[in-house]
Structure 1
Amino acid sequence: MTRPEAIQVTGVSKRFGDFRALDDVSFTIHENEFFTLLGPSGCGKTTLLRMIAGFESPTEGSIALFGSPIDTLPPHKRRVNTVFQSYALFPHMTLAQNVAFGLENLGWAKARREARVAQMLEMVHMAPFAGRKPAQLSGGQRQRIALARALAPEPRVLLLDEPLSALDLKLRQAMRNELRTLQRETGITFVFVTHDQEEALDMSDRVAVMGEGRVQQLGSPGEIYEEPVNRFVADFIGETNFLPGEVIETTGERARVRTPFGPEIVAAQTGVTAPGPATLSIRPEKIGLGDEATGTVLTGTVVSRNYMGGYTHYTIDAGGVALRVSRRNAVSHSEEGFTVGREVRVGFEPGSVRVLGQ
């Protein structure tokens, strides 16, 4: 069953003088979806979020909310709220007053307003601190209050502009879980902007990977990680090995390709229409070492070894080609490992390779 469309972005472009921040962007966000705009600084993701919020207007194209155009509506007339990176809490107000602020502006009756504030503070586990001021809170607690204030007026869409970037690693991980839980509990469409690929993969139903003002790929986290459509996406999402290859022939979504190691393999391909040079992408965790080396098997030398707790990362020199390999530490850090200078078997299966057009 197809879910209703919450946001429709159609042919949107945005120019600031001679600079084109967005270039003919089109996509749809479904109701009750956790949707993420992911990309590096300057890719246009925050500009797009500000257009949905009403703080910027498209130079070309249109944006609709649940089927109704909103391009000419001021921000306060859109049922859209925004959580900013800086939280933007009022320092002179208590937490309860911060959450109630938007409800007062909307003219909610006192009893209804107080009930909603209590409900929101309870939802974000901040009810015992209702009388405190923002300066008395940690970064994570201020983030919760910013969320409560944004959710209180019952928006149909919640926009989140890199809200976790100022938090430390453990707190970011905890807040990711809380955000996902809040989205499921409220049923509100969340549109999340981040440059952090891990956040996007962890929380999202779908991700739009943006680069150079365009949507490079839109899909589920699994799709964009396992099936990148171009080199930009493969490089931005996670780590990967890029190897030169030569396409011999293509058949539908498969290509017969010669690897830099000599053997020909048949692998999934995107954007390749004719024989010729191509780029092969192989994720580090898809490459086996030692007894785990299968498929195309080579002999290489360990150049570097970096222990990272759950994983150990290796660089292997395989006939002059440097391969990055990630190996899960299933037993303990004292396993024999593959020491620097050691000769090892290294291998990958054809199904681990993605062939990308030049």
Structure 2
Amino acid sequence: METRKKAVELRQVSKMFGDFQALETVSFDIHDNEFFTLLGPSGCGKTTLLRMIAGFEVPTTGRIALHGKDIQGLPPHKRRVNTVFQNYALFPHMTLEQNIAYGLENLGWPSEKTRARVAEMLDLVHMSKFARRKPQQLSGGQRQRVALARALAPEPEVLLLDEPLSALDLKLRQAMREELRALQRQTGLTFVFVTHDQEEALDMSDRICVLGGGRIQQLGTPRDIYENPTNRFVANFIGETNFFDVDLLSIDGNMARVRTPLGLDLTVPQRNVRSSQQKVTLSLRPETIGLGDQASGEIMTGTVVATNYLGGHTQYIIRVGDMDIRVSRRNSWNDAETLAEGATVKLGFHPEAARVLGQ
């Protein structure tokens, strides 16, 4: 199996601000040519981690390397990394050409090479015809493209992106997600992307590092993190899920036998469960539960207590016994009427779709 080259290595890195520990000790690698995302809620340590890679913050402990070279003592301008900020940080008095050229001129690039690189970058982000405009004459999405062009111009080894889409409206964010991913593939650079938006992370990333409380909660592919969360924090933060407190009966390898509050005994996949635990959490995604004619596996009967039509899908709250279960059903052009509140309905799921979490 081929070993991936390491663009960024973090070893035993932590960060304290006075008595506050912003980031507990972490160690992981970011691969070359990878779209890598740091995902988590506000205050989880993701921006602190990005700023330490950039050189804007100094780790309290540990070592950071760029393509095998220790960059611990290097100031930001000496590191082969560039950052795209949330507010773009463009010079308002300069044209787009001048904004992109500024950093190259400071690095001592000759004027002919600088002009060629500026033209190349404007073409890359489809902004050539706006070259002599100033930032205030552009839309938010256009300014974001210029900020990307400016960051890419000096040929960094790694591009850091600190919530660059959060100031854009929904449609523009979705369009920019596609552009960013295409840009990363086209340039072959390593992108390290910070966001609190789970959909952005799932859509664009090769791998995601989920942070919570200053700790790494899980690191893996989008599919693995969504379908096989390591703990309740990850299952709750990534997408929506139903949580049930269940009794642990036994563990056999990566499977657990549990008893639900409804009296069902199920054998389901487990993550991080210890045999000493008596109570554990069962996680079941709303879209894995079938309704009516689509119900199969473990069948139950419940009452619709709420409906929420969301365009592409309808979300139901079904009461079974004294439990409320959230169910998501995709809508199609030939769907029958939405289930009415108060209706009795069958629902079912296959135990393999559930996960038992030990934390």
Normalising by structure 2, we get a TM-score of: 0.98
Cα distance in 1 for residues equivalent to 2:196 and 2:176: 16
Cα distance in 2 for residues equivalent to 1:123 and 1:233: 36
Alignment of 1:222-241 (within 5 A): 222-241=223-242
Q: Secondary structure at the match of 1:103?
A: helix
Residue deviations 1:270-319, cap 9 Å, x none? 11121511100000000111011111111100011111110000000011
Q: Which is worse superposed, 141-150 or 241-250? A: 241-250
Aligned equivalent of 2:185: 184
Aligned equivalent of 2:322: 320
Alignment of 1:299-318 (within 5 A): 299-318=301-320
Alignment of 1:161-180 (within 5 A): 161-180=162-181
> Which residue type is aligned with residue 242 of structure 2?
N
Aligned equivalent of 1:288: 290
Residue deviations 1:111-151, cap 9 Å, x none? 11111100100010000000000000000000000000000
Aligned equivalent of 2:197: 196
1:259 Cα deviation after fit: 1.6
> Which residue type is aligned with residue 137 of structure 1?
L
Aligned equivalent of 1:159: 160
> Which residue type is aligned with residue 241 of structure 1?
N
Aligned equivalent of 1:90: 91
Cα distance in 2 for residues equivalent to 1:261 and 1:101: 66
Q: Secondary structure at the match of 2:328?
A: strand
Cα distance in 1 for residues equivalent to 2:262 and 2:177: 42
Q: Which is worse superposed, 261-270 or 280-289? A: 261-270
1:230 Cα deviation after fit: 0.2
Cα distance in 2 for residues equivalent to 1:301 and 1:269: 29
> Which residue type is aligned with residue 164 of structure 1?
L
Q: Secondary structure at the match of 2:90?
A: coil
1:258 Cα deviation after fit: 1.0
The number of residues matched between the two structures is 357
Alignment of 1:67-216 (within 5 A): 67-216=68-217
1:262 Cα deviation after fit: 1.3
Aligned equivalent of 2:248: 247
1:331 Cα deviation after fit: 2.1
Cα distance in 1 for residues equivalent to 2:61 and 2:331: 51
Alignment of 1:12-31 (within 5 A): 12-31=13-32
1:23 Cα deviation after fit: 0.3
Cα distance in 1 for residues equivalent to 2:318 and 2:228: 24
Cα distance in 2 for residues equivalent to 1:326 and 1:300: 15
Q: Secondary structure at the match of 1:171?
A: helix
1:330 Cα deviation after fit: 1.7
Aligned equivalent of 1:349: 350
Q: Secondary structure at the match of 2:149?
A: helix
Residue deviations 1:242-291, cap 9 Å, x none? 01111111011111111222121111101112151110000000011101
1:335 Cα deviation after fit: 2.3
> Which residue type is aligned with residue 129 of structure 1?
F
Normalising by structure 1, we get a TM-score of: 0.99
Q: Secondary structure at the match of 1:306?
A: strand
Aligned-CA RMSD value: 0.8
Q: Secondary structure at the match of 2:53?
A: helix
1:337 Cα deviation after fit: 2.2
Identity of aligned residues (%): 67
Cα distance in 2 for residues equivalent to 1:268 and 1:253: 6
> Which residue type is aligned with residue 354 of structure 1?
R
Q: Secondary structure at the match of 1:200?
A: helix
Aligned equivalent of 2:338: 337
Cα distance in 2 for residues equivalent to 1:258 and 1:295: 16
Cα distance in 2 for residues equivalent to 1:83 and 1:330: 40
Cα distance in 2 for residues equivalent to 1:114 and 1:266: 65
Aligned equivalent of 2:64: 63
Residue deviations 1:123-181, cap 9 Å, x none? 10000000000000000000000000000000000000000000000000000000000
1:228 Cα deviation after fit: 0.2
Q: Secondary structure at the match of 1:88?
A: coil
